Amino acid sequence: MESIVEENGSSEPLSGSNSQSQQSSESGGGNGPTTAVLTSSGGTNIVQIIPTQSTIQAQSVIQQNQQSVIQTATGNLQPVTLPKGVLLVSSKPNSVIHTTQGSLQAVQIKQESNLGGNVMTDTNSEDSQSDDDTSPKKRRDLTRRPSYRKILNDLGGGEIVLSSGTLQLANAQGEPPALHTISGGGVVQYTQGQDGQIYVPLGGNVQLEDQSRKREMRLLKNREAARECRRKKKEYIKCLENRVAVLENQNKALIEELKSLKELYCQQKSD
DNA sequence: TAAATTCCACGTCAGGACAG
DNA sequence: CTGTCCTGACGTGGAATTTA
pLDDT at A53: 32
Does residue A222 lie within 7 Å of nucleic acid chain C, judged by its CB?
A: yes
Average confidence score pLDDT of chain A: 46
Name every residue whose Cβ is closer than 8 Å to that of residue A180 and which is 6 or more positions away in sequence. Answer: A212, A215, A216, A219
Tens of pLDDT, residue by residue over A57-108, are 233 333 333 323 333 333 322 333 233 222 333 323 323 333 322 222 223 2
Q: Examine residue A258 and state whether it is found in any structural domain, yes or no.
A: yes
pLDDT at A99: 31
Q: How many Å apart are A150 CA and C13 C1'?
A: 14
Q: pLDDT (tens digit, 9 = 90+) per residue, A21-54?
A: 332 332 222 222 233 333 333 333 333 333 333 3
A152 touches strand B (CB under 7 A): no
Q: Is the CB of A217 under 7 A from strand B?
A: no
Residue A257 structural domain: 210-270
Based on the structure, what is the number of domains in chain A?
A: 1
Spatial contact of A108 and A93, defined as CB atoms under 8 Å apart: yes
> Is A20 within the bounds of a domain?
no
Residue A230 has pLDDT above 90, yes or no: yes
Instruction: Tell whether the torsion through CA atoms of A138, A141, A145 and A146 is positive or negative.
Output: positive
Going A35 to A38 to A39 to A45, the CA torsion angle's sign is positive
Please state, in angstroms and rounded to a whole number, the distance separating the CA atoms of residues A179 and A168: 13
* pLDDT tens, position by position, A167-222: 223 232 223 333 333 333 333 333 334 443 333 444 556 777 777 888 888 999 99
- Which string of b and e fits A193-216 if b means at least 16 CB within 10 Å? eeeeeeeeeeeeeeebeeebeeee
**pLDDT confidence of residue A122:** 32
Q: Is residue A183 part of a domain?
A: no
* Burial (CB count within 10 angstroms: exposed 0-12, middle 13-18, buried 19+), residue A130: exposed
CA of A135 to C1' of B17 (A): 17
For the segment 175-214 of chain A, residues whose CB is within 7 A of strand C: none
In a domain, A266, yes or no: yes
